[in-house]
Structure 1
Amino acid sequence: MREPLIDLSDIHLTLGRGDVRTDILRGADLRMKAGETLAVLGPSGSGKSSLMAVIAGLERPTSGRATVLGEDVGALDEDRLARLRGSGIGIVLQSFQLLPTMSALENVSVPMELARTPEATVRARAELQAVGLGHRLTHYPAQLSGGEQQRVAIARATAPRPRLLLADEPTGNLDAANGAAIIDLLFERAGTAGAGLVVITHDPAVAERAGRTVHMVDGRVTE
């Protein structure tokens, strides 16, 4: 039996100290198999983004065990976490997070070059073509629409061929038509890569696309 992509057990995350101490995650449990598509649904403030941050190794749990791609992310140093994200985890955010001084091609290829991925530029060009931006390779983010910028972000996430894709409100800055197209593309690219996909959302229509949906309620995960 293959190990799960994600195995979270009794995850607590507390931020701040003293009077400003806030319990964000309160015993969250989550298990996800390879190739699965999962939606995490819940209102603002329920802990969805914090859960993703723990999975990605961007936040270390205060207590509990977080195993992602077979690694205990709470025990990894920053270098090993960066390598895990660079090769095994692709991340797509609501705000695109593209570098304004780099072209679409550079935004996708440079992170792979820094990770010493072979044929980074070739792979970046192929992935941009796959998301429908083969004609926009030399354009900068300011020259692209919001939908096009999110396509670049998806290409950047999928080009390293990760085993796990994480998307946090990927349609939050887009209109309905562009949002629907981006969700279609996200699921299509994850399927092509054979990657597991976690979509953080507050939109039930987006959640319906996933093979399984869980809900965040007061920092806990409910099926």
Structure 2
Amino acid sequence: MDLIHLDDIRLTLGKGAARTEILRGIDLKVAAGETLAILGPSGSGKSSLMAVMSGLEQATDGKAELLGKKMADLDEDALARLRGRDIGIVLQNFQLLPTMTALENVSVPMELAGDKEARKKAIDELQRVGLGARLDHYPSQLSGGEQQRVAIARATAPRPRLLLADEPTGNLDGATGAAIIDLIFSRAAAAGAGLIVITHDPALAERADRVIHMRDGVLADA
């Protein structure tokens, strides 16, 4: 079963003279365990495509299946449960809650999803990303690289089937970014998850099994 199956996906925003076609007929399949990089310049539609793939944005037209489920048949609650259980997401700007410690940022989402081993899993994953000594630190007490490690732990601790990373090194310096790339690929492999990386960085893209180029809302080499 494919993790992602998109058929002629289109996304249009705005109305009248302001109407803009963001995605223009996207066809894409991603197999279980595959690592895929979607490479393209800013404004090419990469982040919009990830939003559609994760169910955060509803396509204007076309058919989309996520983990074998037709997304058109799922309401917002069902999509949220699917993301919480089977999909990990890592973003450029970390998206950590400032009033929660590193441990809480990782464990609380799992607790809310009903995982009784949430704290144990969170501690284990934070140790695996090198933050065993930072469990009780708040985001403001962590460097950018450390914050992204927390975000990776939050994404991978539930052992998702699919990991999505949108420009995960965009706010980091070169050396820190390289370490984060290594970590994302290794933790995805450890979780047995498929990995889709959205990036404009050819060096990051080369790490993937397959690279697809995106420009003006269209994919090449899919």
Q: TM-score if structure 2 supplies the norm length?
A: 0.98
- The one-letter code matched in structure 1 to 2:123 is R
Paired residues, what number? 221
RMSD: 0.6
Equivalent of residue 57 in structure 1, options 34, 55, 59: 55
Query: Equivalent residue for 1:189?
Result: 187
Shift of 1:220: 1.3
Q: C-alpha separation between the residues in 2 aligned to 1:18 and 1:72?
A: 30
Q: C-alpha separation between the residues in 2 aligned to 1:91 and 1:14?
A: 24
Q: C-alpha separation between the residues in 1 aligned to 2:204 and 2:7?
A: 26
Secondary structure class of the residue paired with 1:5: strand
Secondary structure class of the residue paired with 2:110: helix
Equivalent of residue 216 in structure 1, options 198, 214, 217: 214
Query: Equivalent residue for 1:34?
Result: 32
Equivalent of residue 15 in structure 1, options 13, 17, 34: 13
Q: In the alignment, does 2:168 pair up with 1:160?
A: no
Answer whether contact 1:57 1:74 (CA < 8 A) is retained: no
Secondary structure class of the residue paired with 1:206: helix
- The one-letter code matched in structure 1 to 2:74 is L
Query: Equivalent residue for 2:110?
Result: 112
Query: Equivalent residue for 1:72?
Result: 70
Query: Equivalent residue for 1:169?
Result: 167
- The one-letter code matched in structure 2 to 1:131 is V
Query: Equivalent residue for 1:95?
Result: 93
Shift of 1:218: 1.5
Secondary structure class of the residue paired with 1:122: helix
Equivalent of residue 147 in structure 1, options 145, 148, 153: 145
Shift of 1:221: 1.2
Q: C-alpha separation between the residues in 2 aligned to 1:148 and 1:73?
A: 34
Higher mean C-alpha deviation, range 140-149 or range 66-75: 66-75
Answer whether contact 1:61 1:74 (CA < 8 A) is retained: no
Secondary structure class of the residue paired with 2:2: coil
Q: Which consecutive aligned stretches of 4+ in structure 1 deviate over 2 angstroms post-superposition? A: none
Q: C-alpha separation between the residues in 2 aligned to 1:74 and 1:93?
A: 25
Secondary structure class of the residue paired with 1:197: strand
Shift of 1:75: 2.6
- The one-letter code matched in structure 1 to 2:97 is L
Superposed CA offset, 1:33-62 (max 9, x none): 000000000011111001100011000000
Superposed CA offset, 1:53-102 (max 9, x none): 00110000000011010111233101100001000100000000000000
Gaps of 5+ in 1: none
Q: C-alpha separation between the residues in 2 aligned to 1:35 and 1:194?
A: 6
Q: C-alpha separation between the residues in 1 aligned to 2:129 and 2:41?
A: 30
Q: C-alpha separation between the residues in 2 aligned to 1:217 and 1:164?
A: 24
Superposed CA offset, 1:157-190 (max 9, x none): 0011100000000000000000000000000000
Secondary structure class of the residue paired with 1:46: coil
Q: Percent identity over the alignment?
A: 73
Q: C-alpha separation between the residues in 2 aligned to 1:164 and 1:12?
A: 22
Gaps of 5+ in 2: none
Answer whether contact 1:29 1:220 (CA < 8 A) is retained: no
Shift of 1:217: 1.8
